[in-house]
Amino acid sequence: MKKIWGIIVLISIVIALTACGNKEASNKNQENSNKQSNVVATDAPDAANASNNTEVSINVDETRVQELQAQFGQEKPAKAVTLSVAITELYDALQLDLVGVPTTQSELPDSYANVQRVGSSHSPDLEQIAKLEPNIVLAPASIKDSIDKVLKPSGIPAAYLPVDSLDELKESLVTLGRIYGKEDQAKEVLTTFTNAEAEALKVIEGKSAPSVMFLFGSVESLMLMNEDTFAGSLAKKLGASNVLSSVLKQSETYVPLNMESIVEANPDVILLVAHGDPTAVAQKFEEDVKKNGVWEKLDAFKNGKMVTLDYNLYGVASLVKAPDAYKDLAAILYNN
């Protein structure tokens, strides 16, 4: 009898340990799922050869998307105003209506040609926005503090979306897709972009990657910027190493220009992204290069690789323009 009870106790212990193991594995799987989700989309059916359908997997930070989504509460905004060209493009990609869009020299989607302008992202017209009685005002996360100071005292609700880099644009698009019940359309947009991106990256296969330095700024001042920016993230995808991170070991997105650091890094390519008046910035930079002989000592200058980037392609972070920007940047970096 004692032996039988011993066997029963042993079996019970084994069952309990197995159950604990399964629970632990389940918890780990859930944890991993929360960290990152795959927005899996399938190409449209090919009538000629349905078996050639391919799945496109787009990774987004699920935790980040949920945080962004939480800003909007449970109801989708019926009347929205945007203070950013990049966010306006995301709304257009999902074919969503807006009651107000930013006043800007950059090109806005044609669908909002007759929509009320509400001031620039850095200087919104509070009176005009209030007249529109929006449910939400959307602005870039990078200027949250300054926009909060303008909108909060007036009680106008606001939400902030990150739109500086390619990954951030994707996260914000997925977020808006969920808020407005447009998940399928968001997947379709991301699938089209991912296919275009893959096509653009083919041209650099097997080629040696250059080192690159990005200058960003206005006539008054220039900064160095890393791969967390739109142009920087494109260059990273194209395999280029950004000397701000790889050589100068700086983690900040923007760092004040310092000639000693530039000489130390001596990048293969130096690219200027002008802000404000692009033509005036480029002209000012060229004058500075002529005056300061230090620039002429750099490999980028000697090899004719100091280039002012096209503001229309790189001035504003854009999923729409990214495929063309890829092709342009690949030609500059790899002499295609």
Between 31 and 290, the higher pLDDT residue: 290
pLDDT at residue 76 greater than cutoff 50: yes
pLDDT in tens, 7-62: 444 444 444 444 444 444 444 444 444 445 565 544 433 333 333 445 667 788 99
Between 157 and 56, the higher pLDDT residue: 157
Q: How many Å apart are CA 174 and CA 182, to the nearest integer?
A: 9
pLDDT band at 219; cut points 50, 70, 90: confident
Which pLDDT value is given to residue 96? 97
DSSP-derived 3-state class of residue 58: strand
Instruction: Judge whether 66 and 47 are in contact, CB under 8 Å.
Output: no
pLDDT band at 271; cut points 50, 70, 90: very high
pLDDT at residue 82 greater than cutoff 90: yes
pLDDT band at 167; cut points 50, 70, 90: very high
Hey, which bits of the chain come out as E strands?
Answer: 37-42, 55-60, 80-82, 100-101, 116-117, 136-140, 158-161, 211-217, 222-225, 241-242, 254-256, 269-274, 306-308
